[in-house]
A = this chain, B = another copy of it.
Amino acid sequence: MSAHETASLLQLCRIMRPDDANIVGNVHGGNILKMIEEAGCIVGTRHCNAQNGDRCMAALVRVEKTEFLFPMFIGEVAHVTAEITYASQHSLEVQVKVTAENILTGAKKLTNKAALWYVPCSLKNVNKVMKVPPIKYADQEQEEQGRKRYEAQKLERMETKARTEEVVPPPSNPEQYTVGYSQSTLIHLVGPSDCTLHHYVHGGVTMKLMDEVAGIVAARHCNTNIVTASVDAINFHRKINKGCVVTVTGRLTFVSNKSMEIEVLVDASSLVEPDKYRAVSAFFSFISLDKDNKPLPVPPLKIEGEDEQRRFDEGNARYILNKAKRLAAKERQQ
């Protein structure tokens, strides 16, 4: 049976164009996240409509921590493969792999692995969550592992609230290498092409905007070519709909020798009802590259005040934890 005929598997590919990349030709991490989410949304929506009942769309509720293993370049073909790997009663997990193919040399590289959680929402009433049809597992072990991932993310989603910290505008003449110096905000008016069939913003569109702001913050701090290294788990707490203005703010929280952690806060407000709410928040990690795409040292961050120090310490804790996890994963593989 061919790939695109299997309901629970989907392949998507696209050639990378100048608009997908920065000026030195590295494809923006945000564009990769957007393709990942498009594939996840298609495979999830298709699966949840393979039953009777209201028509529905899969709405993104969570993305697990995602690493960018290699940069992708203009002219390469991105292959995105999405597969449903677990289904609970009301949500499903989609695992996605991204491969970059150089069609001139034939070289292929795995650039990303991601795991996304979706919930099917009725097209008639977006607040009505539909039931998810069961999937077939290769064996009991596979189902058991999926259930564990499901329980873990459920717990974490319940514990985590959207970080409701206020965004403080930077001082008017900030000193270089301070948090205020590189802090950046963009706003975007949500148009029809950003939206799903029920007029809510695709999760992938939001992630692309977040990556864009984080990239500007990183470039301002170190004045070099920068690329996305990883994104921490993101929970989508509130939906954003057509006609909203989204305000996306990024600020440095922590800087190690070779990487920067940027907190990105997404606020949405309707143009006609000016109440603002925090829709999403996440931590992006960026690294700085030289002309040969090798990592460069990152200038230290000048901390000012207690809040910045607290965020720095928290970022440091996340950094140490992630390092330990990566080491443990490597050891398991050996």
Contacts and interface: CB of A to CB of B under 8 A. Distances in A.
Contacts of A242: 23, 197
A47 to B, nearest CB: 9
Interface stretch (A144-152, A270-278, A306-314): A270-278
A74 interface: yes
Contacts of A45: 103-104, 271-272
Number of contact residues on A: which range applies?
35 or more
A169 B170 contact: yes
Contacts of A3: 2-4, 11, 169
Contacts of A271: 42, 45-46, 49, 57, 197, 216, 219-220, 223
A297 interface: no
Interface stretch (A64-72, A185-193, A256-264, A326-334): A185-193
Contacts of A13: 4, 10-12, 42, 184-186, 216
A239 to B, nearest CB: 16
Interface in A140-192: 166-170, 172, 176, 184-189, 191-192
Interface string A1-21: 011100100111111011100
Contact of A38 (B10, B19, B189, B220): B189
Interface string A234-245: 000000001101
A29 interface: no
A317 interface: no
Interface in A75-102: 75, 77, 79, 101
A96 to B, nearest CB: 14
Contact of A215 (B10, B79, B189): B189
Contacts of A189: 22, 38, 41-42, 212, 215-216
